[in-house]
Amino acid sequence: MGEIRACGEEDPSRVCTKVYEWTGNETLASLSQWLIDRPLRVVLTLIVAWLLNRLSRRAIDRLSDRIRETPTNPRLQALRSLGPGGSDMETAEARRAPARAEAIESVLKSLVTALVFSVAIMLVLGEFGINLAPLLAGAGIVGVAIGFGAQSVVSDFLSGTFMLIEDQFGVGDIIEVDGVVGEVESISLRTTKLRDLSGTVWHIPNGTMSKVGNHSQLWSHAVVDIDVSYDTDLRVAMGLMDEVADAYWSDTHMEGASGAIIEDPEVMGVQALGDSGITLRLRAKTNPSSQWSVARELRLRLKEAFDEAGIEIPFPQRVVRVQPETPIEDLG
């Protein structure tokens, strides 16, 4: 009976039982449970939680290293290697991999740490005889209330997590969101910060991004449309466009040049028959975010070449016919 009074009837601790066997003193046995057994269990629980957290973080570090070392799916890499510009795309994706890996690593480590130590704290509270059922029920009710009141925040966090995992865009990319075009300056789980061409900084909640256009992921296209008059020999004009584009491509691959164009530019042909002229289209594959500078330089070179060749770039024209006035007496 003394042992039951000191150590309890259900699941008595070994320390309490042994102390009662050694001393026969109920008070010492009961104190040993509070001074030795429970603190020991708490310490062991915290040590196990710390070890689990460390092992989980090391596993996340290895995952992060794999993302840095192999940023591309091997099957996708094999397919890319068959086409032109595949090595350039692999290089561009490899440059993005460290930032993406760091962001994913930070998110996963925070989640794992919070989960492991939350469970550890509940186990520690249970060791001191605290009934966890009311706490869990209360936490559940509070969680539901917060969930209803902060649905947009939860949506922002989930969207931010998936954006990082799927590598939709990264810092330094030029993206378009809801009509705003700008460079990504920072990405958090809740918001994305853009700076547009005029210098305005836009803070956009991740959950509101229904669709995002990335202008600078892996590679881009510089598309140049130029009009010629209807009496122009189109084949001559397209041949001149091809020569200008090839010369520019060669210039970008000279020693010390930027190498902005990564594939042989393509003259795609007649794009439209307009009111004042015929639109010819030229397309060049470029490095990420280089499409605008390449397009501007191509327009300049094409204008100079067309002027030298005597090819007219038309402007809107209208033919106005003036009818002579008819005297009123002639109408009768």
Q: Residues 55, 172: one domain?
A: no
| 318 within some domain | no
Kindly report the pTM of this predicted structure: 0.57
Q: Residues 8, 123: one domain?
A: yes
| 104 within some domain | yes
pLDDT digits (tens, 9 = 90+) for 246-274: 999 988 888 777 778 888 899 999 999 98
pLDDT digits (tens, 9 = 90+) for 88-112: 445 555 566 676 677 677 778 878 8
At residue 319, what are phi and psi to the nearest 5 degrees? -100, 120
Q: Residues 109, 225: one domain?
A: no
Q: Residues 258, 284: one domain?
A: yes
DSSP 3-state of 313: coil
Q: Which structure tokens are listed for 291?
A: 């499409």
Q: Residues 115, 6: one domain?
A: yes
| 323 within some domain | no
If one counts the domains in the chain, the total is: 3
| 319 within some domain | no
Give DSSP secondary structure letters for 99-168: HHHHHHHHHHHHHHHHHHHHHHHHHHHHHTT--HHHHHHHHHHHHHHHHHHTHHHHHHHHHHHHHHHHT-
**Whole-angstrom distance, CA of residue 38 vs CA of residue 32:** 9
Q: Which structure tokens are listed for 213?
A: 């256009």
DSSP 3-state of 307: helix
| 76 within some domain | yes
**Whole-angstrom distance, CA of residue 240 vs CA of residue 223:** 17
Task: Report pLDDT for 108.
Answer: 80
- The alpha carbon of residue 55 and the mean position of all alpha carbons in its chain are separated, in whole angstroms, by 27
The burial class, CB within 10 Å (0-12 / 13-18 / 19+), for 191 is: middle
| 57 within some domain | yes
Closest CA relative to residue 119, chosen from 143, 136, 134, 144: 136
Q: Residues 278, 200: one domain?
A: no
| 250 within some domain | yes
Q: Residues 210, 228: one domain?
A: no
Asked if 244 and 280 touch (Cβ cutoff 8 Å), the reply is: no
Task: Report pLDDT for 18.
Answer: 56
Q: Residues 7, 126: one domain?
A: yes
Q: Residues 206, 101: one domain?
A: no
| 9 within some domain | yes
Domain that holds residue 274: 220-309
The burial class, CB within 10 Å (0-12 / 13-18 / 19+), for 292 is: middle
CATH number of the CATH domain containing 246: 3.30.70.100
Q: Residues 93, 202: one domain?
A: no
Give DSSP secondary structure letters for 54-105: HHHHHHHHHHHHHHHH--S-HHHHHHHHHSTTHHHHHHHHHHHHHHHHHHHH
Residues in the chain with pLDDT values less than 70: 1-38, 70-97, 99-100, 103, 127-129, 132, 135-136, 138-150, 317-318, 325-332
